[in-house]
Amino acid sequence: MSLDARTVAKMARLARVGLSDEQVHTYQKEMQGIIGWVDQLNEVDVTDVPPMIGTGLAQPRLRDDQVTDGDCREKVLSNAPDREGPFYTVPKVVE
Protein backbone atom coordinates (compact mmCIF):
# COMPACT_ATOMS: atom_id res chain seq x y z
CA MET A 1 0.00 0.00 0.00
CA SER A 2 1.38 3.40 -0.82
CA LEU A 3 1.82 5.91 1.89
CA ASP A 4 1.93 9.43 0.55
CA ALA A 5 3.10 12.64 2.16
CA ARG A 6 -0.47 13.76 2.73
CA THR A 7 -1.12 10.65 4.78
CA VAL A 8 2.05 11.20 6.80
CA ALA A 9 0.98 14.77 7.53
CA LYS A 10 -2.45 13.51 8.53
CA MET A 11 -0.97 10.93 10.92
CA ALA A 12 1.23 13.65 12.39
CA ARG A 13 -1.85 15.77 13.04
CA LEU A 14 -3.73 12.85 14.56
CA ALA A 15 -0.75 12.05 16.80
CA ARG A 16 -0.15 15.74 17.55
CA VAL A 17 3.45 15.63 16.45
CA GLY A 18 4.46 18.86 14.76
CA LEU A 19 6.44 18.14 11.58
CA SER A 20 8.14 20.41 9.08
CA ASP A 21 7.54 19.75 5.38
CA GLU A 22 11.03 18.42 5.16
CA GLN A 23 10.40 15.98 7.99
CA VAL A 24 7.17 14.86 6.36
CA HIS A 25 9.19 14.09 3.27
CA THR A 26 11.83 12.10 5.18
CA TYR A 27 9.29 10.16 7.22
CA GLN A 28 7.25 9.45 4.13
CA LYS A 29 10.18 7.66 2.52
CA GLU A 30 11.06 5.72 5.66
CA MET A 31 7.50 4.81 6.50
CA GLN A 32 6.84 3.76 2.93
CA GLY A 33 9.79 1.40 3.23
CA ILE A 34 8.61 -0.05 6.52
CA ILE A 35 5.04 -0.48 5.34
CA GLY A 36 6.31 -2.16 2.18
CA TRP A 37 8.23 -4.55 4.38
CA VAL A 38 5.32 -5.38 6.70
CA ASP A 39 3.09 -6.02 3.71
CA GLN A 40 4.67 -9.49 3.59
CA LEU A 41 2.11 -10.37 6.27
CA ASN A 42 -0.39 -10.59 3.45
CA GLU A 43 1.22 -13.91 2.53
CA VAL A 44 -0.04 -15.48 5.75
CA ASP A 45 -3.32 -17.35 5.67
CA VAL A 46 -5.18 -16.07 8.70
CA THR A 47 -8.54 -17.58 7.85
CA ASP A 48 -10.39 -18.51 11.05
CA VAL A 49 -7.46 -17.41 13.20
CA PRO A 50 -8.59 -15.31 16.15
CA PRO A 51 -6.52 -12.23 16.93
CA MET A 52 -4.34 -12.60 20.00
CA ILE A 53 -5.39 -10.25 22.76
CA GLY A 54 -2.76 -10.32 25.47
CA THR A 55 -0.95 -13.57 26.13
CA GLY A 56 -3.87 -15.29 27.82
CA LEU A 57 -1.85 -16.08 30.93
CA ALA A 58 -3.32 -14.01 33.74
CA GLN A 59 -6.69 -14.72 35.33
CA PRO A 60 -9.31 -12.02 34.96
CA ARG A 61 -9.32 -10.09 38.18
CA LEU A 62 -11.63 -7.47 39.64
CA ARG A 63 -10.91 -4.94 42.35
CA ASP A 64 -13.09 -4.32 45.40
CA ASP A 65 -14.99 -1.05 45.28
CA GLN A 66 -13.15 0.86 47.97
CA VAL A 67 -11.57 4.29 48.07
CA THR A 68 -7.90 3.41 48.45
CA ASP A 69 -6.26 6.16 46.44
CA GLY A 70 -6.49 9.82 45.52
CA ASP A 71 -6.36 12.74 47.92
CA CYS A 72 -2.77 13.36 46.83
CA ARG A 73 -3.04 16.67 45.04
CA GLU A 74 0.54 17.66 45.59
CA LYS A 75 1.78 14.44 44.02
CA VAL A 76 -0.62 14.87 41.16
CA LEU A 77 0.46 18.45 40.48
CA SER A 78 4.12 18.40 41.51
CA ASN A 79 5.44 17.78 37.99
CA ALA A 80 3.04 20.12 36.17
CA PRO A 81 4.91 22.52 33.87
CA ASP A 82 2.35 25.32 34.37
CA ARG A 83 0.30 24.83 37.46
CA GLU A 84 -2.20 27.38 38.75
CA GLY A 85 -3.19 26.73 42.36
CA PRO A 86 -5.04 23.42 42.44
CA PHE A 87 -5.28 23.15 38.65
CA TYR A 88 -3.35 22.08 35.58
CA THR A 89 -3.52 24.66 32.83
CA VAL A 90 -3.69 24.63 29.06
CA PRO A 91 -4.05 27.46 26.54
CA LYS A 92 -7.63 28.66 26.57
CA VAL A 93 -9.93 26.20 24.86
CA VAL A 94 -12.74 27.83 22.92
CA GLU A 95 -15.74 25.61 22.34
Partner 1 sequence: MMSSIFDYTLASAREALRARKVSAVELVDAHIDAIERLDDGLNSFITRTPEQARLAAKEADALLARGEGGSLCGLPIGIKDLFATEGVRTTAASKILGNFVPPYESTVTANLKRDGAISLGKLNLDEFAMGSTNLTSAFGGVENPWKRCDSDAKLVPGGSSGGSAAAVAAGLVLGATGTDTGGSIRQPAAFCGITGIKPTYGRCSRFGTIAFASSLDQAGPMARTLQDCAILLESMAGFDPKDSTSVDRPVPHYEAALGRGVKGLKVGIPKEYRIDGLPAEIEAIWQQGIDWLKEAGAEVVEISLPHTKYGLPAYYIAALAEASSNLARYDGVRFGERVQGASLDALYEATRAAGFGDEVKRRILLGTYVLSSGYYDAYYLRAQKVRTLLQRDFLKAYETVDVILAPTAPSGAFAWDEKPTDPVQVYLNDVFTVPASMAGVPALSVPAGLDSRGVPLGLQLIGRFFDEETLLAAGSVLEKAASFTHRPTIHAGVSA
Partner 2 sequence: MSAYRITGETGEWEVIVGLEVHAQIVSQSKLFSGASAEYGGEPNTHVSLVDAGFPGMLPVLNRECVAQAVRTGLGLRAQINLFSRFDRKNYFYADLPTGYQISQFEHPIVGKGTVEIELSDGEVRHIGVTRMHMEQDAGKSIHDQDPTRSFIDLNRAGVALMEIVSEPDIRSPEEAGAYIRKLRQILRYLGTCDGNMEEGSMRADVNVSVRREGEEGYRTRCEIKNVNSVRFVMQAIEVEAQRQVDIWESGGEIDQETRLFDHVKSETRSLRTKEDAHDYRYFPESDLLPLVIEQSWVDELKAALPELPEDKRARLEKEYGVSRYESGVLTAEQSVADFYETVARGADARLATNWILGDFFAALNRTGRTIEDSPVSAEALRELLSLISDSTINGKIAKEVFEDMVETGEKASVIVDRKGLRQVTDTGAIEAAINDILAANADKVAEYKSGKDKLFGFFVGQTMKAMKGKANPAMVNELLKKLLAS
Taking residue 8's Cβ as centre, other Cβ atoms within 10 Å add up to 21
Q: Judged by CB under 8 A, does residue 90 bind partner 2?
A: yes
Distance CA 56, CA 75 (A): 34
Q: Judged by CB under 8 A, does residue 38 bind partner 2?
A: no
Q: Judged by CB under 8 A, does residue 37 bind partner 1?
A: yes
Site residue total, partner 1 (CB under 8 A): 52
Distance CA 43, CA 77 (A): 50
Closest to 3 (Cα-Cα) out of 42, 30, 40:
30
Residue from 2, 21, 44, 73 binding partner 1 (CB under 8 A): 44
- Point out which span in 18-26, 29-37, 40-48, 53-61 binds partner 2 (CB under 8 A): 53-61
Q: Judged by CB under 8 A, does residue 53 bind partner 2?
A: yes
Distance CA 89, CA 92 (A): 8
Q: Judged by CB under 8 A, does residue 73 bind partner 2?
A: yes
Nearer to partner 2, 2 or 79 (CB): 79
